[in-house]
Amino acid sequence: MTATVTASWRIRVLGHGREACGAAVLVTREYAVTCAHVVADALAGSAAADPFELAGRVLDLEFVTAGSTTVPALVAPDGWFPESVDHTGDLAVLRLTGPAPDGVKPAPLRPVGAAGQRVAAYGHPPGFDDGLWCEAVTRGSGGPLGSWIQLDPVNTGGTWIGPGYSGAGVVDSGTRDHAAAVGGLVVSAAVHGSTRVAWMMPLDAMATLWPPIATLAPAPAGSAGDPATARYADRRAALARLTQALAGTLTMGRPAGRQRVVDCLRPEIAHRVPRDPATHYDVNSIVEVCRQFEGGLDELLACVRHFEGPSIPMRAVDAAMAQLPEDLRAGR
């Protein structure tokens, strides 16, 4: 897989002792993505003791192909998705606070096949901070709620995914017409006896958490002409925008504020909301339950508005609500 060797988007995430805590992928000149648990490990010695409240914290990113140039980055306020109670999530979006090094280019993004596709990842295992490539083959969907893709070894004797690979970009082998591209992030791995397995978070799973990444990757092959697939994707994207906007309000961005809003909802809605300590997942749960009741989303917005007032973030909520399909908004 020689097409991947000069991939300048590769990033090493550094801890306080300058050790490699994992990897990340530059997806625009301003943003990189990695696993939330990599960020939590990198900031383990910081004042941020709560792993669910690391948004806004600063850490150092080191660009592998740029002479180990280090650039500070912070956890984007709308890009912090720690592992939820159902084990989904584990994504962090990092915003660079300085320019990316000269010659560094964002990773091209392209969905990978769920089964039978050869891929590679570049991680930083203990003793190899400079990194090692590892090859794998996609086996099929798996992981939490089937949202990840299982990775199996290409051979039994080669380098395998383990500590230091979390957040690494999973790269396809490219084609005659297209250069190699990143299709997701390494998120987990396990070894049980002779069985070695890992999982990647594909681009579509990442987009359900952070919708902007969907605009950076082409649609999966065969999906563009499927009206049902397109309609589902549009509806999920609209709900994700509403959830993101609500989480950006002062009221819904704080546990006490969300509790006041839930208490304000009619009992048949409030009693069905599963709570979560992570802001994004808690807001998402509230939205998902409210939309199952006629007029539930309108009621939710009325409750938020009661506590939030005419704030600028509330305008973003109204804009996101206006983009919802009418039947979704009405609870049908």
Q: Which residues contact 4 (CB under 8 A, 6 or more apart)?
A: 120, 122, 133, 171, 180
Q: What type of residue is 22? A: G
Of the two residues 159 and 315, the one the predictor is more confident about is 315
What mean pLDDT comes out for the span 245-267?
A: 94
Token reading at 71: 């650039």
Q: Considering the chain, what is the average pLDDT of its residues?
A: 84
Alpha-carbon gap, residue 23 to 11, rounded angstroms: 6
Alpha-carbon gap, residue 29 to 37, rounded angstroms: 23
DSSP code of residue 6: T
DSSP code of residue 81: E
| pLDDT on residue 175 | 56
| pLDDT on residue 139 | 92
Q: Are 131 and 94 in contact (CB under 8 A)?
A: no
Q: Which residues contact 42 (CB under 8 A, 6 or more apart)?
A: 13, 14, 15, 16, 21, 22, 59
Q: Are 203 and 25 in contact (CB under 8 A)?
A: no
pLDDT digits (tens, 9 = 90+) for 134-192: 999 999 988 877 889 999 998 877 789 999 999 999 999 765 556 789 999 999 998 87
Residue written as token pair 């801890």: 15
pLDDT digits (tens, 9 = 90+) for 213-245: 877 766 555 444 445 445 555 676 788 889 889
The maximal CA–CA distance of the chain, rounded, in angstroms, is 62
Q: Is 133 left (phi over 0), alpha (psi -120 to 50) or beta?
A: beta
Other CB atoms within 10 Å distance of the CB of residue 202: 24
Residue 220 in 3-state DSSP? coil
CATH of domain 7-96: 2.40.10.10
DSSP code of residue 324: S
Domain boundaries, the chain: 7-96, 118-216, 227-322
- The reply to whether 118-216 shares the fold of 7-96 is yes
Helix (H) or strand (E) holding 273: none
Of the two residues 75 and 3, the one the predictor is more confident about is 75
Of the two residues 58 and 56, the one the predictor is more confident about is 58
pLDDT digits (tens, 9 = 90+) for 102-145: 999 999 999 888 789 999 999 999 888 789 999 999 999 888 77
What mean pLDDT comes out for the span 261-277?
A: 89
| pLDDT on residue 267 | 94
Burial of 5 (0-12, 13-18, 19+ CB in 10 A): exposed
- Whether pLDDT at 61 is above 50: yes
Other CB atoms within 10 Å distance of the CB of residue 284: 25
Token reading at 319: 């804009």
| pLDDT on residue 225 | 44
| pLDDT on residue 250 | 95
| pLDDT on residue 214 | 79
Q: Are 287 and 269 in contact (CB under 8 A)?
A: no
Instruction: Tell me the DSSP string of 147-208.
Output: -EEEEEESSSSS----TT-TTPEEEE---SSS---EEEEEEEEEEETTEEEEEEEEHHHHHH
The model carries a pTM of 0.68
- Whether pLDDT at 93 is above 50: yes
| pLDDT on residue 226 | 44
Q: Which of 44-53, 145-154, 310-319 has the lowest mean pLDDT?
A: 44-53
What mean pLDDT comes out for the span 82-87?
A: 73
- Whether pLDDT at 48 is above 50: no
Q: Are 82 and 278 in contact (CB under 8 A)?
A: yes
Of the two residues 250 and 84, the one the predictor is more confident about is 250
CATH of domain 118-216: 2.40.10.10
Alpha-carbon gap, residue 179 to 249, rounded angstroms: 41
Count of CA atoms in the C-beta half-sphere (13 A) of 220: 15
